[in-house]
Structure 1
Amino acid sequence: MPLSTPVARKEMHTRIVTCKGYLREDDLWDIEGHMVDTKPYRFENIDRGGHIEAEEPLHGMWIRLTINDRMIVQDAEASIDFSPYNHCPKINPDYKKLIGLSMGLGWNKQVRTLFRGTAGCTHLTELLGPMATTAFQTVFSGRNEGRKVEGKAEMGIKPKERPALLNSCHSYAPTSPVILRHWPDYYEGDEDL
């Protein structure tokens, strides 16, 4: 169901974030994030020759993280194709600091600590949030496709092991019919669903 009809309005800014996950031939995973900001009008900008045209990217940024099956970052690369200042791309090499971090619990906090304030690019750092959920979806779906992952069960979860997804969102609440269907040992709701 779409959103309700808005009041009359004028578009002022568009941000497009695209995240993709890939299984590499060396059995590692690449997670790529791309962000583009545009405006529907021309505006002044000294570093870009005096102005930025309407619909020309104000920001155009990429990050690629290579991770293993445990979602530990093995390599990191950042690239800024478009930015409002010529100085912005100088931060790209600093994103190598992500190597060795786990994209699991605490990821966003670690990222905010590493790249707080002048230690990072606000937009590259923001991109790392949706990349983490993309990584989870990529690795989890790869496991579900029957790929053997470091000796784990086909679904990535042993039958009596507490599901990692438990309490992670509304549908994974212990009282949800989703938990009853997939992990009945962890279901805490009304059995009469």
Structure 2
Amino acid sequence: MPLPPPAPRALQHTRTVTCRGYKRDDGLWDIEGHLTDIKTIAIPLKERNDGWVPAGEPIHDLSLRITIDLDMNIHDVASSMDLTPYRLCPDITVQYKKLIGLRIASGFTRQTRELFSGISGCTHLLELLGPIATTAFQATHKEQLARIEHMPDVKPFMLDNCHALNTRGQVVKQHWPDYFQGEQIPAELIPAEPIPAKELS
């Protein structure tokens, strides 16, 4: 269902984030993220052009690539800043090599914030790591499922990671019955206070 019709308005800014996942010939995976920020009006910026960024020209044009294996271990990182507000911005890209050796798993967001928050990184490259991480799971999904089929004692990684894949819900009951945990009691049916034993007799 689309959003409801908006009030009268004028577009000011567009942030575009595009992420792509590639299966490499060597068995590894490249996950690439690209971010642009574009305004519909010219803005003053002393270190760009003649002191202005024209309407339609990106203020930010940033890219980040991570190379992973199927266990989500990061083997390599490359980053670039083709357009930035300040000339020194690209100096920070080398810091993102610190991602090498990390694993995209529970706690990954916390780790990246510890490494790159504040003056230790670029706000926009840090933000880009979130959609890159989820794209990594989407890109490798088919191979991950194929692996699970040969590991019957391993719970599929995606279960209990979103509302639809609740192991007490109907989707899991239908598609992964071995991991179904039984119907969840709706919150409105759970008594606020324990029912006295005499009322149960």
Aligned partners of 2:142 and 2:21: how far apart in 1?
Answer: 10
What stretches of structure 2 of length at least 5 have no aligned partner?
185-201
CA–CA distance in 2 between the matches of 1:88 and 1:32? 20
**1:44 — aligned with what?**
44
Counterpart of 2:157 in structure 1 is: 164
TM-score (norm 1): 0.89
Give the match's secondary structure for 2:143.
helix
Aligned length: 183
How far, CA to CA, are the matches of 2:80 and 2:60 in structure 1? 11
Q: Secondary structure at the match of 2:140?
A: helix
Give the equivalent residue in structure 2 for 1:129.
130
Within 5 Å, which residues of 2 pair with 1:102-117?
Answer: 102-117=103-118
- TM-superposed CA distance for 1:134, in Å, is 0.3
Structure 2 CA distance for aligned equivalents of residues 34 and 85 of structure 1 = 19
The answer for the alignment partner of 2:139 in structure 1 is: 138
Structure 1 residue 142: Cα displacement: 3.4
- Provide Cα deviations, 1:87-111, integer angstroms capped at 9, x if missing partner: 1000011100000000111111111
Tell me the residue number matched to 1:27: 27
1:12 aligns with 2:12: yes
User: Does the 8 A contact of 2:70 with 2:144 survive in 1?
Assistant: no
State the AA in 2 paired with 1:71: M
Residue 34 of structure 2 aligns to which amino acid in structure 1? H
| Larger CA deviation: 28-37 vs 166-175 | 166-175
AA aligned to 1:160 is D
Deviation, 1:12, is 1.3
For residues 86 and 174 of structure 1, the distance between their equivalents in structure 2, rounded to whole angstroms, comes to 50
Verify: 1:72 aligned to 2:105, yes or no: no
Q: Which residue of 1 aligns with 2:194?
A: none
Provide the aligned C-alpha RMSD in A.
1.6
Matched letter for residue 181 of structure 2:
E
Measure, in 2, the Cα distance between the counterparts of 1:141 and 1:37.
32
